[in-house]
Amino acid sequence: MDITIKNEGEKTLVTLNGRLDTTNADQFQADIQPLMTSPKPDIDIDCSGMTYTSSQGLRIFLSLQKSVLARGGKMVMLNMNPQVKEVFDITGFSNIIAIR
Amino acid sequence: MKKRFNPIKDKSSEIIEFLMASPDMPTDETLCFKIRLSVEEAVENVVRYAYEGGIGWLEAGTSLDKDTLILTIELRDAGVPFNPLDREDPDITLSAEEREVGGLGIFLCKQMMDSLNYRYEDGNNILTMTKKINK
């Protein structure tokens, strides 16, 4: 799993590549830590290269979404592949996280 | 095919890859995605919670019924008796603020596989998951 985080003005663009699973979930959690503190976050997460997520990944996305909402910010996940999207649909995450 | 891993601490990946490399696995990518996800969730459950400090064994195996094309994955351990199917499903209608973080692993297995079965036998937890494949 590769992650890049870029700040473009007010917006933060996160790009995910590869499989998010039990081997790298802790690292992912650590990598996105800076996003948990900015005052009014506006985050786009490009998922076009993310091929897989397990519940380990889901819990991190939910924590991030909770934290973003609590700070009055917004977060959108973009270009999700159909298999990953199905995981978000089945778990109800499609209703609580914006996906475009 | 079957293998016993001992001890299992930090061995999740090795156990998952062993199962996914089985000749019983389908080649279809979408099916493999669903099976891998279920395997990961079920294996993680044992590795994290079955034994204090992860010191104990896990026997992982697959079998394929050539007539019905039903794939069975079995996980067996001698850890704390625990029926993962007793856990209540998460309420997926709640808002982000109301949702609890976690508790999705076994729920995902239930959704992705055709059946999940648990039994406690001779001091072992035995979890079997089945999926009809199209090999």
Please report the domains of chain A, with CATH numbers, ordered by start residue.
2-99 (3.30.750.24)
Query: What is the chain A residue with the closest CA to B111?
Result: A90
Its pTM stands at 0.94
Q: What is the pLDDT of residues A33-43, one digit of tens each?
A: 999 998 899 99
Q: What is the pLDDT of residues B56-111, one digit of tens each?
A: 999 999 999 999 999 999 999 999 999 999 999 999 999 999 999 989 999 999 99
What's the pLDDT score for residue B94? 96
Residue-by-residue DSSP string for A82-94: HHHHHHHHHTTHH
Counted domains in chain B: 1
Q: Which letter, b or e, does each residue of B99-124 get, where b requires 16 or more Cβ atoms within 10 Å of its Cβ? A: beeeebbbbbbbbbbeebebeeeeee
Q: What is the CATH number of the domain that holds B61?
A: 3.30.565.10
Alpha-carbon gap, residue B57 to B54, rounded angstroms: 8
Show the DSSP H helices in chain B as ranges. Answer: 12-20, 29-49, 105-112
| Structural domain boundaries, residue B96 | 2-132
Give percent of chain B with pLDDT exceeding 70: 99
Alpha-carbon gap, residue B110 to B129, rounded angstroms: 9
Chain B CB contacts of A22 below 8 Å: 12-13, 16, 40, 44
Give percent of chain A with pLDDT exceeding 70: 100
- Whether residues B107 and A91 touch (CB distance < 8 A) is answered with yes
